[in-house]
C-alpha cells in the first residue's frame, strides 16, 4: 500500500470517504514525517496539537456525511497568512512573536472546507526572496539534490520555499503559497510540484501580511494539477473585506481539469527564447512541452510580448515602492518587536526596532521603494513603471485577443541552485523571476507544472499563462502537460 | 463672481500699506456612524482605544474598505459648496512616521479629489456679500491622538480617532482680512451644519483650520511667500493668528529680509506664531495611489439622488427671507446662520409682519438665549407663543411696552401670552371714558403744567402722556392717550 504521505488529495479523499483510514491517521502520518524530515526546515511553527484536534473534527464531519472539499487533508500554511491564535511571523524577526487574534480569509475558507493545519511554512522574509534564504528562521531546504551530489544542499526557491519543500518532501499534502512576482511558481518548479498563482483578485488578500498590494495573490501548491484545482476551489471567492477582490463566481476548477486541450491555441512568446539568454537545456524542455500539447491536440503559435524585457526592472520599482509603504506599520508601537532603551526618543525606537527587526533584503527593498517614491524621482521611476506595467498587460491582452487561449513558457531560467550561491548578488537572484514577473504585473493566472528533470537530475517546470479569471483553461493545459510528461520522479531524499 | 473681493483692511508698515492674502484649509470631521475605511464607531468622548478595529490599528494583513456613507457626505458637501463633483477620484497614501499614525501612512486624496472647484459667499457685517473660491474638497483619514502628559516618561496613544473620516476643504487665496476669514469659517460651518455633514464643533476638534498667510504691498500683482499656521481651533484664534502672522511678515519684509516658507503654530496665550518646521524639514510624503483601494467611482445618478435630498441652504434662504419677509440683508443673514433658528423665525413670521418678527427674534429672543446660554431648541418661549405675542400688539390688545413685560413673564413661566395678559389684566385700555378720566385726574393735579402747554410748551405733552400711562399701569393705548390729551388741553 502507498504510504499515506504519498497520496494525492484526490486519493486521500477517496480513502477517507471509503473508511480506509481516518483523518487522524492521515494527519499522524504527516506529523511523523515532519519529525523525520525536520531537517528540511519547512515549518517555522509546527502545530501538531491543533492538527490532531482539527483531524478529529474532520473525522466527525466525515462520519456525519458533512465532509468539505478539503476534509481531513493536512496542509502547510505559508507563514504570511494570519492564523488566529497561531504565531504568524512572515519569516521576520519583527513579527517573531506575533500571534494574530484573527484568521485570514483564505485560511478560514480552507478550514471551513475541512483542511487540517500541520504548521506555518517557512518563507523568505515578508515574501522578499527567491531562495528562502532571507527567512529569519533559517532557510528551508529543497528535498531534491543534484544527481551524484547528495551533499550539496539546494534552495527550495522562494518566497514560498517552505511550502514547496513541505509538499515535495511529503510532509504536507498541499500548501498555500503567495505569489507577488513568482513566489509560488518558482519554488514549485524548483521542488518538482504544481503551483498556481491565480488571477489578481481571485483570492482575498485580507489577513495576508502584505508585501506589494497590487501584485500579491494567494494560491495553492500541490503535487498534481487536480489537487491544485481542488484546493484552488476552496481558497477562491469574493471577499467584501478586500476592495481588490473580484466579485466573480468561482467555477468548478476540478471539473475543468480533465477537459483536454484539443483545439486550444497555445502561444509561444519569442521574447522568452534562447536568443534572449535562455539556456539550451531549458529551451529543450520548453520544446518538449510544446510537443506534448500538440500531441494532445493543441496548436502552438508564435506570439510576441514585446515589452517583456522591461518587466523585471518595472517589477523592482513597483513592488519595493508598495512594500516600503506597507512595511511602515512595523514600528514597534503596537505589536511585534520593540527595541527601546532608557531615554530613547520615538525616532530612536523606530530606528532600533526596524534595524533589528528587518533583514538585509527587506531593508534593501524598503530603501529602493522609498527612493522610487520620493519627490523628484516619482515620475521617473514609479509613474514610468506604472506606464510600462500597462504596456506589459496590453502585450498579453493583444495575444489573447489574437486568439491565443493559453501561453506556454519556462517557469524559471534555471533549476534549483545551491544555498549561498546567489544570496550575495541580488541582481542574479532577481533574475530567477524573469519569466514569472510579467504575468504578475499583468495580473494573469500562471501555473507551473513539473515536466522533466534537467541533466543534473533536478525538476524543471513549465509555466502556463491564461486570460484573466480563466484558471480553468490553464489547469486543463497543465493537466495535459502533466499527463504527457508522466513526471513521477521523487526527491532522492525520499528514496532513502 | 467676485474672486478678489474689495476690502479696506490694510496693515500699516513703515514703508506703506500692506494687504494680507489668506487661504484656509479646513478639516471637517464627517458625520457618520462608522470610520472612513472600517466599521469602528466614531462617537466622541469614548474610553481611550475602545473604538479601534483591526484596520484602525493597522494589524498585519488588514485592508481598508470605503464607507459609502462618508462618500455620500462628501458629495453632499460638494453640492452645498456649488462645486464640481468628480465621479472618479483616487485615494493615495501620504507616508510619514508618527506614533499615532498606525499604518505609517494616511489614506488621503492627492491628485484626484472627490470634489473640485466651488464657491462660498461671505455675509459681511455691513450686509455686503463676497465670494470666496473653493479649490477642492477631499476625503482622508484622521490620525490617532498622542497623550504626552499622562506619565513622566511615557507617551500614550489613543486610536479612537484613527481612521475617522475628514473632509479637507481648501479655499482659494481669496480672503483679504481676518474678518473675511472669520466670516468664511462661520459660513462654512453654517453650510456644513445645514447639510448635516459635519457638526462644526471646533472646541471638540471636529472642525480645525490650517491658515495660509502672505502679505503684499497694496496694488502689487502676484503673491509673496506664504506660511501655513497649523491646526487653529477657533474662529477667534484664526483671526488673531492672521493678524500676528501678517505683522510678522511685514516686519521681515521691511527689514530687508525674506519670509521663509514654513509651517508654524499659533500660541493663543502669547499671541504669536512660532516655527514648527521649515521647508527643508518638510516631510517628503511620497504620495502614491493606494494599491489596496480601487479608484472611487460613481455615476451621475448617485449625485442626483443626493442633490434631491439637499435642504434649502443659507444663501437661498437668505434671498427668500429678503423677498418674502422684507428683511434687510443683514437681518436675513443673521437669521439663516442656524437652520433651527431660521425655522423658528419662519414659524414666528408666517402670516405676520416679517420685520416685526425678525426684530423680536434677533433683538429679544437671541438675547435671552445668549443670557441663558442655551440653543434655540431649548428656547423658553415657543415660536407659537412669540407669534401670538406679536399678534396681541398688532391688534392693539397690548402696547409694545406691555409686550416686553409679557415677554419676560413668558420667559420665566413658559406661558402663552394671551393667558398672561388675561390673568394679569394687562389688556390695553381703549375705553375713551376710562382714559379721559385718567387724563382729567392728571390735569386737575397739575394745573400749572396745563397752562404751560397751552402757552405753547407742547413738549410737555410727552410728560402728560407718561403720567397718564403711569396712572393706568401702562395699559392705556398710548396713541389714544396722545390724541385725547391734545384734544383736552389744546382744544
A98:B284 CB<8 A: no
Residue A367 sits at the chain B interface (C-beta within 8 Å): no
Q: Please name the member of A206, A334, A370 whose beta carbon is closest to the beta carbon of B57.
A: A334
- The verdict on a CB contact (< 8 Å) between A205 and B63 is yes
pLDDT band at residue A276 under the 50/70/90 scheme: low
Is this complex's ipTM strictly greater than 0.90? yes
Residue A266 lies in a domain: no
What per-residue confidence (pLDDT) applies to A234? 98
Which of A88, A200, A329 has the most B C-beta neighbours within 10 Å, making it the best mutation to test the interface with B?
A329
Name the pairing type of β-strands A265-269 and A299-303: parallel
Mutation target among B54, B112, B163, B286 for the A interface, most CBs of A within 10 A: B286
Domains of chain B: 11-307 (no CATH), 314-423 (no CATH), 432-490 (1.10.10.410)
Kindly list the residues from chain B whose CB atom is less than 8 angstroms away from the CB atom of residue A350: 97
Q: Which is the catalytic residue, given A135, A163, A183, A414? A: A183
**Mean predicted confidence (pLDDT) in A272-291:** 88
B339 φ, ψ (degrees, to nearest 5): -60, -40
Catalytic residue among A92, A135, A159, A414: A159
Segments forming the whole domain that contains residue A208: 4-257
**List of chain A residues whose C-beta atoms are within 8 Å of the C-beta of residue B97:** 328, 331, 347, 350
Residue B76 pLDDT? 98
- What does the alpha-carbon distance between residue B315 and residue B310 come to, in Å, rounded to a whole number? 13
pLDDT at res. A344: 93
Residue A169 lies in a domain: yes
Contacts of B206 (CB under 8 A, 6+ apart): B28, B29, B44, B198, B199, B200
Number of H helices, E strands in chain A: 17, 11
Q: Which of A321, A331, A346 sits opposite B288 (nearest CB)?
A: A321
pLDDT of A176-231, one tens digit each?
Answer: 999 999 999 999 999 999 999 999 999 999 999 999 999 999 999 999 999 999 99
> Given B64, B99, B294, which is nearest A333 (Cβ)?
B99
Using a CB-CB cut-off of 8 Å, the residues of chain B touching A214 are: 291
Which of A78, A109, A120, A197 is catalytic? The answer is A78
Q: Which residue of A has its CA nearest to B153?
A: A343
What total number of domains does chain A contain?
1
**Among chain B residues, CA nearest to A241:** B65
B105 touches chain A (CB under 8 A): yes
Looking at beta carbons, which residues of chain A come within 8 Å of B62?
A: 206-207
Q: Is A183 a catalytic residue?
A: yes
Residue A238 lies in a domain: yes
Per-residue confidence of chain B (491 residues) as pLDDT tens digits?
A: 344 445 689 999 999 999 999 999 999 999 999 999 999 998 888 999 999 999 999 999 999 999 999 999 999 999 999 999 999 999 999 999 999 999 999 999 999 999 999 999 999 888 788 999 999 999 999 999 999 999 988 889 999 999 999 999 999 999 999 999 999 999 999 999 999 999 999 988 899 999 999 999 999 999 999 999 999 999 999 999 999 999 999 999 999 999 999 999 999 999 999 998 887 777 899 999 999 999 999 999 999 999 999 999 999 999 999 999 999 999 999 999 999 999 999 999 999 999 999 999 999 999 999 999 999 999 999 999 999 999 999 998 888 888 999 999 999 999 999 999 988 888 877 778 888 888 998 999 998 988 888 888 888 888 988 888 888 888 888 888 888 888 888 87
Q: Answer whether residue A326 shows pLDDT above 80.
A: yes
> Helices B383-394 and B339-349: crossing angle, nearest 10°?
30
The set of cell numbers assigned to A44 is 517555522
Question: Is A188 a domain residue?
Answer: yes
Secondary element (H or E) of residue B78: helix B68-80
Beta carbons of A102 and B155 less than 8 Å apart: no
* Cell numbers at A261, concatenated: 486541450
Residue pair A396/A442 in contact by the 8 Å Cβ criterion: yes
> What is the reported pLDDT for A1?
53
Ranking A106-120, A265-279, A430-444, B104-118 by mean pLDDT, the lowest is A265-279
* B39 lies within 8 A of chain A by CB: no
- Assess whether the previous peptide bond of A159 is cis (omega < 30° from 0): yes
Looking up residue A113, the CATH number of its domain turns out to be 3.90.1300.10
What is the distance between the alpha carbons of residues B84 and A181, in angstroms, rounded to a whole number?
A: 40
| pTM for the model | 0.92
Q: Do B292 and A243 touch (CB under 8 A)?
A: yes
Phi/psi at B242 (5° precision): -60, -45
* Residue A311: inside a domain: no
Residue A274: the pLDDT is 67
What CA–CA distance (Å, rounded) separates A123 from A361? Answer: 13
Residues B102, A329: C-beta atoms closer than 8 Å: yes
Let me know if residue A114 belongs to a domain: yes
* Residue B428 confidence (pLDDT): 77
DSSP letter string, A449-486: EEEEE-TTS-EEEEEEEESTT-HHHHHHHHHHHHHHHT
| DSSP run (H or E) holding A351 | helix A346-357
Closest to A320 in 3D by CA, of A202, A444, A430, A162 = A430
Q: A329: nearest CA in chain B?
A: B103
- Mean pLDDT, rounded, for A252-257: 97
Residue A149 CA: distances (Å) to CA of A97, A417, B141: 38, 12, 57
Kindly determine whether residue B291 and residue A212, on different chains, have CB atoms separated by under 8 Å.
Answer: yes
Which residues of chain B does A346 touch, with a Cβ-Cβ cutoff of 8 Å? 98-99, 155
Please report the pLDDT score of residue B1 as a whole number: 38
Distance of CA A271 to the CA centre of its chain: 24
Question: Can you give the pLDDT at residue A275?
Answer: 66
Q: Known catalytic residue: A414?
A: no
Amino acid at each position: 500500500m502507498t504510504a499515506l504521505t504519498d497520496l494525492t488529495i484526490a486519493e486521500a479523499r477517496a480513502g477517507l470517504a471509503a473508511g480506509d483510514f481516518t483523518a487522524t491517521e492521515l494527519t499522524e502520518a504527516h506529523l511523523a514525517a515532519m519529525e523525520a524530515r525536520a531537517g528540511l526546515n519547512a515549518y517555522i511553527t509546527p502545530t501538531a496539537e491543533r492538527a490532531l484536534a482539527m483531524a478529529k473534527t474532520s473525522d466527525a464531519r466525515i462520519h456525519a456525511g458533512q465532509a468539505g472539499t478539503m476534509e481531513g487533508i493536512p496542509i502547510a500554511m505559508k507563514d504570511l497568512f494570519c492564523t488566529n491564535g497561531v504565531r504568524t511571523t512572515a519569516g521576520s524577526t519583527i513579527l517573531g512573536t506575533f500571534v494574530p487574534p484573527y484568521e485570514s480569509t483564505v485560511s478560514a475558507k480552507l478550514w471551513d472546507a475541512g483542511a487540517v493545519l500541520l504548521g506555518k511554512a517557512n518563507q523568505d522574509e515578508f515574501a522578499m526572496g527567491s531562495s528562502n534564504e532571507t527567512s529569519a528562521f533559517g532557510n528551508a531546504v529543497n528535498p531534491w539534490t543534484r544527481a551524484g551530489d547528495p551533499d550539496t544542499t539546494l534552495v527550495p526557491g522562494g518566497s514560498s520555499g517552505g511550502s514547496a519543500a513541505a509538499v515535495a518532501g511529503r510532509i504536507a499534502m498541499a500548501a498555500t503559497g503567495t505569489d507577488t512576482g513568482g513566489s509560488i511558481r518558482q519554488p514549485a518548479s524548483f521542488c518538482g510540484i504544481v503551483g498556481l498563482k491565480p488571477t489578481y483578485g481571485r483570492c482575498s488578500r485580507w489577513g495576508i501580511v502584505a508585501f506589494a498590494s497590487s501584485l500579491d495573490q494567494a494560491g495553492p501548491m500541490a503535487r498534481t494539477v487536480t489537487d491544485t484545482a481542488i484546493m484552488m476551489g476552496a481558497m477562491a471567492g469574493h471577499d467584501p473585506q478586500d476592495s481588490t477582490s473580484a466579485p466573480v463566481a468561482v467555477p468548478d476548477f476540478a471539473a475543468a481539469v480533465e477537459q483536454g486541450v484539443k483545439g486550444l491555441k497555445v502561444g509561444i512568446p519569442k521574447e522568452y527564447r534562447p536568443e534572449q539568454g535562455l539556456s539550451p537545456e531549458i529551451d529543450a524542455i520548453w520544446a518538449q512541452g510544446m510537443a506534448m500539447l500538440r500531441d494532445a491536440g493543441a496548436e502552438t503559435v508564435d506570439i510576441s510580448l514585446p515589452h517583456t524585457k522591461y518587466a523585471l526592472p518595472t517589477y523592482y520599482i513597483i513592488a519595493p515602492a508598495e512594500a516600503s509603504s506597507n512595511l511602515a506599520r512595523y514600528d514597534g508601537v503596537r505589536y511585534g518587536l520593540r527595541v527601546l532603551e532608557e531615554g530613547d526618543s520615538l525616532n530612536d525606537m523606530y530606528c532600533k526596532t526596524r534595524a533589528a527587526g528587518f533583514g538585509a533584503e527587506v531593508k534593501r527593498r524598503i530603501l529602493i521603494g522609498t527612493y522610487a517614491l520620493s519627490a523628484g524621482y516619482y515620475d521617473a521611476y514609479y509613474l514610468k513603471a506604472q506606464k510600462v506595467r500597462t504596456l506589459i498587460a496590453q502585450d498579453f491582452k493583444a495575444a489573447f485577443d489574437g486568439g491565443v487561449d493559453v501561453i506556454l513558457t519556462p517557469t524559471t531560467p534555471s533549476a534549483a541552485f545551491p544555498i549561498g550561491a546567489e544570496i550575495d548578488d541580488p541582481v542574479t537572484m532577481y533574475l530567477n523571476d524573469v519569466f514569472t514577473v510579467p504575468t504578475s504585473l499583468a495580473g494573469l493566472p500562471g501555473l507551473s507544472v513539473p515536466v522533466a528533470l534537467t541533466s543534473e537530475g533536478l525538476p524543471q517546470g513549465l509555466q502556463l499563462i491564461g486570460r484573466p479569471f480563466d484558471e480553468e483553461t490553464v489547469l486543463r493545459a497543465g493537466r495535459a502537460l502533466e499527463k504527457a510528461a508522466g513526471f513521477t520522479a521523487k526527491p532522492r531524499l525520499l528514496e532513502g | 463672481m467676485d474672486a478678489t473681493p474689495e476690502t479696506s483692511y490694510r496693515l500699516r508698515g513703515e514703508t506703506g500699506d500692506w494687504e494680507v492674502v489668506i487661504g484656509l484649509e479646513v478639516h471637517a470631521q464627517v458625520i457618520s456612524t462608522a470610520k472612513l475605511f472600517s466599521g469602528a464607531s466614531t462617537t466622541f468622548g469614548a474610553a481611550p482605544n475602545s473604538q479601534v478595529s483591526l484596520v484602525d490599528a493597522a494589524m498585519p494583513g488588514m485592508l481598508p474598505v470605503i464607507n459609502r456613507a462618508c462618500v455620500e457626505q462628501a458629495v453632499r458637501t460638494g453640492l452645498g459648496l456649488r462645486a464640481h463633483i468628480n465621479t472618479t477620484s483616487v485615494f493615495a497614501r501620504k507616508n510619514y512616521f508618527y506614533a499615532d499614525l498606525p499604518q505609517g501612512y494616511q489614506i488621503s486624496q492627492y491628485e484626484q479629489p472627490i470634489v473640485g472647484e466651488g464657491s462660498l459667499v461671505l455675509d459681511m457685517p455691513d450686509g455686503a456679500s463676497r465670494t470666496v473660491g473653493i479649490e477642492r474638497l477631499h476625503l482622508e483619514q484622521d490620525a490617532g491622538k498622542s497623550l504626552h502628559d499622562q506619565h513622566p516618561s511615557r507617551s500614550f496613544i489613543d486610536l479612537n480617532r484613527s481612521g475617522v473620516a475628514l473632509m479637507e476643504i481648501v479655499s482659494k487665496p481669496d480672503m483679504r482680512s481676518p474678518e473675511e476669514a472669520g466670516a468664511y469659517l462661520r459660513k462654512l460651518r453654517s453650510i456644513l451644519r445645514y447639510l448635516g455633514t459635519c457638526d462644526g464643533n471646533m472646541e471638540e476638534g471636529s472642525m480645525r483650520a490650517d491658515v495660509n498667510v502672505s502679505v503684499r504691498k497694496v496694488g502689487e500683482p502676484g503673491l509673496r511667500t506664504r506660511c501655513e499656521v497649523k491646526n487653529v481651533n477657533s474662529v477667534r484664534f484664526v483671526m488673531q493668528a492672521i493678524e500676528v502672522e501678517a505683522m510678522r511678515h511685514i516686519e521681515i519684509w521691511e527689514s530687508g529680509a525674506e519670509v521663509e516658507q514654513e509651517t508654524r503654530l499659533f500660541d493663543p496665550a502669547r499671541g504669536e506664531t512660532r516655527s514648527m518646521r521649515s521647508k527643508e524639514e518638510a516631510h517628503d510624503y511620497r504620495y502614491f495611489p493606494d494599491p489596496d483601494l480601487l479608484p472611487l467611482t460613481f455615476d451621475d445618478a448617485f449625485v442626483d439622488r443626493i442633490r434631491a435630498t439637499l435642504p434649502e441652504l443659507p444663501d437661498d434662504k437668505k434671498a427668500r427671507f429678503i423677498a418674502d419677509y422684507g428683511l434687510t440683508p443683514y437681518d436675513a443673514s443673521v437669521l439663516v446662520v442656524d437652520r433651527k433658528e431660521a425655522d423658528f423665525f419662519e414659524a414666528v413670521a408666517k402670516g405676520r409682519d416679517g420685520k416685526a418678527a425678525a426684530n423680536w427674534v434677533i433683538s429679544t429672543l437671541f438675547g435671552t438665549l445668549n443670557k441663558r446660554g442655551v440653543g434655540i431648541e431649548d428656547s423658553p418661549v415657543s415660536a407659537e407663543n412669540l407669534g401670538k405675542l406679536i399678534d396681541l400688539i398688532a391688534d392693539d390688545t397690548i402696547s409694545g411696552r406691555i409686550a416686553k413685560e409679557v415677554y419676560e413673564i413668558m420667559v420665566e413661566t413658559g406661558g402663552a401670552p394671551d393667558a398672561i395678559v388675561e390673568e394679569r389684566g394687562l389688556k390695553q385700555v381703549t375705553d375713551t371714558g376710562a382714559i379721559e378720566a385718567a387724563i382729567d385726574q392728571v390735569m386737575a393735579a397739575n394745573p400749572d403744567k396745563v397752562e404751560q402747554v397751552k402757552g405753547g410748551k407742547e413738549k410737555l405733552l410727552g410728560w402728560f402722556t407718561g403720567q397718564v400711562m403711569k396712572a393706568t399701569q401702562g395699559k392705556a393705548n398710548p396713541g389714544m392717550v396722545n390724541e385725547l390729551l391734545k384734544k383736552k388741553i389744546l382744544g
